[in-house]
Structure 1
Amino acid sequence: MRKLTIGSLLAFALITGFGCNSNKSNSENATDATSTDASSSADSGSMTSSDTTASSNMNATPTNQSANDFMLKAASGGMMEVTLGKLAQEKASNADVKAFGQKMVEDHSKANAELKTLAASKNVTLPVELIAEHQKHVDAMSKMSGADFDKHYMTMMVEDHQKDISEFEEASKNEDADVKGFASKTLPVLKMHLEMAQKANAKVSK
């Protein structure tokens, strides 16, 4: 009877031990499977992000050199108009000059935003600083105030918008349809600015 009891205990111990090992093995396998799935998911996410970026670049509409040059110069010119417009509101003495400056800030800020969106769609990086040609005007007029500022600013605005209109008219014939559309849309605004500048300049130049 005693021998039978001891044998039964040994058999029970063996069965219990096997069950623990089996559970441990199953747990480890489950952990490995979870790790593998997580790794696969991470790789899949990474590939999706990469594929999205590549797709975005492929969808960008290429542009020609003349269109690219136009956007770069127009971006700097637009920033200059906003900067000088703010200076006019601060330093000008004539009410019409101040009003003109405010109009420049409003209209060119809007045009600058549209140009930025256009350039981004073509993977064109616009300048964040003024080119030398435009910076010299800001440097010169930042030292002026009152009547001197009024005369210098309005004379410069007449000449600058005449140049802008010529450049935008040329761009409105560009082979790039998007650049052509932007230039054509902005031209009437520039012509209105020129008329305003000529009227204000006539008053302050007397």
Structure 2
Amino acid sequence: MKKLSLIAMMAIAALSFQSCGGSKDSKEVADSVNAVKDTSTMAAKDTAGVTGAKGIAVDEGDAKFATGAANAGLAEVAAGTLASEKATNPKVKAFGAMMVTDHTKANEELMAIAKTKNITLPNEPDADHQKMKADLAAKSGADFDKAYVDAMVSGHKKVESLFEDASKNCKDADLKAFAAKTLPTIKSHLAEIEAIQKGMK
């Protein structure tokens, strides 16, 4: 019965997404779905034969951290791929390749956690990050390098703040541990891209 209601709810979410004329991006859709579905650990498993067992639902703020982290990770991979192909500065090119490797790994870890919690994650970056990627793709040479580096400094400051907060305040132990484990890598990325930015001035 629970599976049937989940399928019906997802169909409604899909229809409402279409009726908005596609104005909602992947992150907004994921947040909407998570707001109305059972994110308990039991819901992610086949509950047949389990009597009276109900997991603790994931806190709404924790689910939003998961979608925000996934959104940022997807954006880093997309922009990093672009930088590893288009950058003229070897340090910028190498940083882009590192973003693809590190954020793909973190995204996979987060997806595995989200699956056990029945949390829906976005499958592509949100509209703001899609625009950033399109703007970057239109640039070349030193202009591309500068725009990418500036975007990475700004983006990593926001992501550092997101993960810092989650590492202290997430109620879900697995998401809190993921945030705490990933935070040093984000801090290291920020320090490296700030050093590259300084060297370009």
Within-5 A mapping of 1:133-148: 133-148=128-143
Structure 2 counterpart of 1:181, which letter?
A: A
TM-score, normalised to structure 1, is 0.71
Cα contact 1:61–1:121 (8 A) shared by 2: no
SS at match of 1:144: coil
- RMSD after superposition: 1.9
Change (3 A) 1:60 1:113: farther
Tell me the equivalent position of 1:24. none
Tell me the equivalent position of 1:54. 47
Instruction: Provide the rounded CA distance (Å) in 2 between the counterparts of 1:184 and 1:161.
Output: 15
Change (3 A) 1:60 1:108: farther
Q: How many residues align?
A: 154
Q: Alpha-carbon deviations, 1:42-62, whole Å to 9, x = none?
A: xxxxxxxxxx72259967652
Cα contact 1:61–1:122 (8 A) shared by 2: no
Instruction: Provide the rounded CA distance (Å) in 2 between the counterparts of 1:81 and 1:122.
Output: 24
Instruction: Provide the rounded CA distance (Å) in 2 between the counterparts of 1:55 and 1:189.
Output: 41
Instruction: Provide the rounded CA distance (Å) in 2 between the counterparts of 1:56 and 1:149.
Output: 57
Q: Which structure is higher in helix share? A: 1
Instruction: Provide the rounded CA distance (Å) in 2 between the counterparts of 1:153 and 1:64.
Output: 34
TM-score, normalised to structure 2, is 0.72
Tell me the equivalent position of 1:97. 92
Q: How far is 1:119 from its partner?
A: 0.4
Which residues of structure 2 form unaligned runs of 5+? Answer: 1-44
Instruction: Provide the rounded CA distance (Å) in 2 between the counterparts of 1:147 and 1:74.
Output: 29
> Aligned match of 2:192 in 170, 185, 196?
196
> Aligned match of 1:187 in 176, 183, 190?
183
Q: Which runs of 4+ in 1 moved over 3 A?
A: 55-61
The answer as to 2:118 corresponding to 1:118 is no
Instruction: Provide the rounded CA distance (Å) in 2 between the counterparts of 1:101 and 1:56.
Output: 49
